[in-house]
Structure formats: C-alpha cells, structure tokens
Amino acid sequence: MSPIAVGGPALFLGADTPCVALLRPEIDPARPEVREAAERAGVTPEEFAGPSGLWQLIADRTDGEGREVALPELGDAAAAAFAERLLAALDDPDAEFTETLTVAGRELLRLDARPAGEGFAFLARLTPPESAATPPLDVEIGPTSTADLRAELELFRRNLG
C-alpha cells in the first residue's frame, strides 16, 4: 500500500490519493539521487536531506488540498501504540470505530472508520497545531480491505523495530 519509499517507518491509509500518511523519513545524503537533487538545488546533500528521523503527518485529497505537519514531539512508542490500537480495532469487521493520534496533549489525527465491503472506509481529520494557522482538513479514504490494512500496520510495526 505504501505509494512512496521513505527509507523509514511509514503508515499509509489509502493506496494513492486521497491518503493520510504517518512517517519518519530517513534520507541518506550519500545516496546518488539525493546528491543530484542537492546539486540542482544549489545546496549540500546534508542541507538537502535536512533533519532525518522526525515524524511527519501528511494528508492529501483529490482536489489538491493537503497538509503536512511536522511532529517533533512524537516518539516511536506513541506511533507504535497508535498502530496497535488500529490493529485491535480491525478484529471486529462489522464495528465502526474511532482512533486518534494525540501528540503533546493535542489531537492531530482522528480516524473515524466504518465497515465498507470486506474492509473499512475512513474519514480522517488532520488538525494542524495552532502555530500553523491553517484549518483542519478532512480526507475521505475509500474502502480498504481488512487484509491490506492489517498488512500495512504489521509492516509499519516491523519497521519501527
């Protein structure tokens, strides 16, 4: 399900657009493609790669609306706990459920799931921090099979270590 390779743990809900992603990219400045991109941008590969290992939350809709939020306060344990709660919720394929990702006491992602076919559809609400001065963004994510969701969550957990 992961549409892009980020080099670190990544959880994608939605196979393309619309989607929501929770990821901790690891960008290696020694990779040829990073060096080439840095050269085109006129910066060093280290500057281009930026701080690696910081969690990000990304939401994208088909109408071009999207949000990206840096989550420096999020740790691997909290990301793993979020994935565990989602996995547990999948055990009842007929139940609607809500799961939230809360960082530093603030709800940044809320997932409302409802049964759809052989899986679930989601309404995701990304609420940027107040400092971002942008409104919340709602993303409707179409049906995803329970097997695909479970595989994505298990891969995410394995990549966390």
Report the number of distinct structural domains present in the chain.
Answer: 1
Q: Supply the CATH number for residue 37's domain.
A: 2.30.31
Task: Kindly state the helix (H) or strand (E) to which residue 152 belongs, with its residue range.
Answer: helix 146-160
3-state secondary structure at position 51: coil
For residue 3, name the pLDDT band (cuts at 50, 70, 90). Answer: very low
In sign, the C-alpha dihedral spanning 16, 152, 138, 75 is negative
- 5 occurs within a structural domain: no
- 2 occurs within a structural domain: no
Q: For position 28, what pLDDT does the model report?
A: 80
- 120 occurs within a structural domain: yes
H helix intervals, 22-75: 32-41, 45-49
Quote the CA–CA distance of 41 and 48 in Å, as a whole number: 8
Q: 62 is in which domain, residue-wise?
A: 10-160
Q: Are 124 and 109 in contact (CB under 8 A)?
A: yes
3-state secondary structure at position 12: strand
- 1 occurs within a structural domain: no
* Residues 79-112 pLDDT 10s: 999 999 999 999 887 889 999 999 888 899 999 9
